[in-house]
Amino acid sequence: MRRMVRFGNNLARLAALAVVLVWAIPVAATPQDMAKLPVFEPYRCAVCHVESPENGGDTTLNPFGNDFLANLRRWNLALAELDSDSDGCLNGVELGDSDGDAVADGNTDRLTSNPGAADCGSSLDVTTWGELKALFESR
Ligand SMILES: [Ca+2]
Ligand SMILES: [Ca+2]
Ligand SMILES: [Ca+2]
């Protein structure tokens, strides 16, 4: 009987540890994931999340966050060429790294708009970007 109680206590501790780990891992991963992006100001957490956890908001992933996760938490050309939030601006254009090489375009240190929210404020839309890209590729 004593063995059963001890086993039950250990099982409860293990379950509690699992709950803590599941809760802690996504929170710990956020700054590391953010550091993989060449530019993340001014949106910070809101680049990937519906709202910024820093502001006590929802930690649900936005469309860009889902694509970043599906891309194995990597920022690259494949992700830069997507328009995760379907607002007409490619992720790379919104994020300020149009070729997805993790080096910001020019001296950009701020996002032009959020790749996870329909807020494309740039005049450089998918069509314009495609035309510009074709121009450079034809050289
Ligand atoms: Ca977009
Ligand atoms: Ca770049
Ligand atoms: Ca956007």
Asked if residue 7 is part of any domain, the answer here is no
- Cα(119) to ligand 2 centroid in Å equals 21
Which pLDDT score is estimated for 28?
A: 47
Asked if residue 64 is part of any domain, the answer here is yes
Which pLDDT score is estimated for 107?
A: 82
Asked if residue 6 is part of any domain, the answer here is no
Q: How far is CA 72 from CA 68, 76, 128, 133, in A?
A: 7, 11, 29, 26
- Cα(138) to ligand 3 centroid in Å equals 28
Asked if residue 15 is part of any domain, the answer here is no
- Residues of the chain falling short of pLDDT 50: 19-25, 27-28
- Cα(24) to ligand 3 centroid in Å equals 29
Asked if residue 97 is part of any domain, the answer here is yes
Asked if residue 63 is part of any domain, the answer here is yes
- Cα(94) to ligand 2 centroid in Å equals 12
Q: Which domain holds residue 65?
A: 27-137
Asked if residue 21 is part of any domain, the answer here is no
Burial tier of 22 (Cβ tally within 10 Å: 0-12, 13-18, 19+): exposed
Per the structure, the count of domains in the chain is 1
Mean pLDDT of the chain: 81
Which pLDDT score is estimated for 92?
A: 97
